[in-house]
Each structure stands twice: as C-alpha cells, then as structure tokens.
Amino acid sequence: MTPDTSTTVASGSAASVAPVLAARGLVKAHGPTRALRGASVELAPGELLAVTGASGSGKSTLLHCLAGIVRPDAGEVEYGGERLDRLPERRLSELRRTEFGVVFQFGQLIPELTALDNVALPLLLAGTGRTGAHASAGEWLERFGVRGQGGLRPGELSGGQAQRVALARALVTGPRVVFADEPTGALDSLAGEQVMAALAHTARETGSAVLLITHDARVAAYADREVTLHDGTVAQAAGAEVVR
C-alpha cells in the first residue's frame, strides 16, 4: 500500500460508521522541532487503535492533540461534532473528566491518596457523592483484580498493580474514548501482558474506544487496527481498509 497521509483510515467493519474522533492534517512544533507534519487519523466507536512508531516520531504529541491536552498549530480535531482544537479550556477539562479517560506510562496516580480514592476522584470531581463514588471505584478495582489493594497508596503497590489502578481510574466514568500512552512501558513483560489483556477485555466489554500509543509489537497485537507514524505523518496502516 502506498503511504498517503491524506487518507482516512478505518477498519473494514467500521467503514460506514462515523468516527468517534477524527484528526485531519495535524501540525505541531515544539520549538524548532516539528513533531507532527500533517497527521490524519480516525478512531471508530468501540475500536482499539494502536499508534506505533520510533521514538520521536510524534506518537505522544498526536495523543495529546487528540485528547485536547495540547492544541495543534494547524489542522483540526473533531469529537462529537465539536472542534477540540477550538474549544475553551473549561470545556476541554470537562470532556477529560467525563468522556475521556487518560492513562500514562507511569500511571500518574496521586501519591497521597489510596488506590480507592484515586479511582473515585474523577467521579467526585464530576459531582458524585462520596459513598457512590467509592462504591463505583471499588467495583472497578474488582474488575482489574486489585480491590484488595484499595486501601494502599501508590508507593505501596507494584508497578502492575499501580497501572491497573490507573486503568480503573480512566474507565470509572464510562468514557467514550480512552487514551493510553505507553501504558505498559514501565512494566516487565508479564505485568505488561496482564495490563493489556485487562484493558482490551474491559474496553470491549464497555464499548469504549481506545487510542493506544506503543512501541511494542506485542502490545500493538491487542489492537483491532494499527497505524504507524514516521516523522510526524501517518506512514502506513495495518489490518485496515483505506477509505478515500
């Protein structure tokens, strides 16, 4: 397949379904370095999409633009009929609290809070009462097999346990889209496999779409589809049908 950064990529089963998230022609520079050079990608509802590429290819910058964490210098990001690249920060923060879930390589749990409180936090910020938030958080910890660690703080958890707690926190609000930036990068092979199996199973069970950043082929294999970034552009698509 000839590389074409202007194409829209969709899985064959989702070709006729409107994407839940779409980026077109994204350009982003960090100082003199252009991290994205016209990248375009679409994420279908319920799809697990892996974005792969070498270090420095623009993977994390793409995720940050798609999640509304940073604004692109050019191009557009559309979600639910809204242009994320034009929304005020207040609306972006609301989306990240309610409709987006984000997981980073090192989890970024709040060290002063217990695992249960870390997972309950997004619900509390959204206005859920403490009793209800803790009940839901406990159920999500149970789903990821770490309910017994709910009273521990992040420093008392293993790397795999902490990342499972981070996944529970990302999914507790029932997000439409989960952004996972190298979620197994700090884990050993076994813990990484366990975390990815739990993420893939739970996302498919709940219907959340997942944008997964990874450099690991074993992790990318969990995805329904894979796109590869090269020098800030979408260089190829694997397991996908190209729709023009």
Q: What is the pLDDT of residue 6?
A: 35
Sheet holding 74-79, edge to edge: 33-43, 21-30, 74-79, 82-83
The pair of structure tokens assigned to 60 is: 């994390």
Q: What is the pLDDT of residue 16?
A: 60
Task: Compute CA distances 59 → 43, 64, 176, 209, whole Å.
Answer: 15, 9, 21, 17
Grouping H, G, I as helix, E, B as strand and the rest as coil, residue 194 is helix
Please spell the DSSP secondary structure of 120-133, one letter per residue. HHHHHHTT--HHHH
Nearest in space to 101 (alpha carbons), one of 15, 186, 209? 209
Please spell the DSSP secondary structure of 18-70, one letter per residue. PPSEEEEEEEEEETTEEEEEEEEEEE-TT-EEEEE--TTSSHHHHHHHHTTSS
pTM of the entire structure? 0.85
In this structure, which amino acid lies at residue 179?
A: F
d(CA 115, CA 238): 37
Question: Is 94 within 8 Å of 102 (Cβ atoms)?
Answer: no
DSSP 2: -
d(CA 25, CA 173): 30
The pair of structure tokens assigned to 234 is: 């979408």
Nearest in space to 21 (alpha carbons), one of 2, 51, 1, 45? 45
Question: Is 135 within 8 Å of 126 (Cβ atoms)?
Answer: no
Q: How many residues does the chain have?
A: 244
Question: Is 108 within 8 Å of 60 (Cβ atoms)?
Answer: no
Q: What is the pLDDT of residue 40?
A: 95
The pLDDT profile of the chain, 244 residues, written as one tens digit per residue, is 333 333 333 344 444 678 999 999 999 999 988 999 999 999 999 999 999 998 888 999 999 999 999 999 999 999 988 999 999 999 998 898 889 999 987 768 999 999 999 999 999 988 999 999 999 999 999 988 899 999 999 999 998 899 999 999 999 999 999 999 988 888 888 888 888 998 999 889 999 999 999 988 999 999 999 999 988 898 755 554 332 2
Nearest in space to 82 (alpha carbons), one of 61, 97, 99? 99
Question: Is 8 within 8 Å of 237 (Cβ atoms)?
Answer: no
Q: What is the pLDDT of residue 12?
A: 41
DSSP 10: E
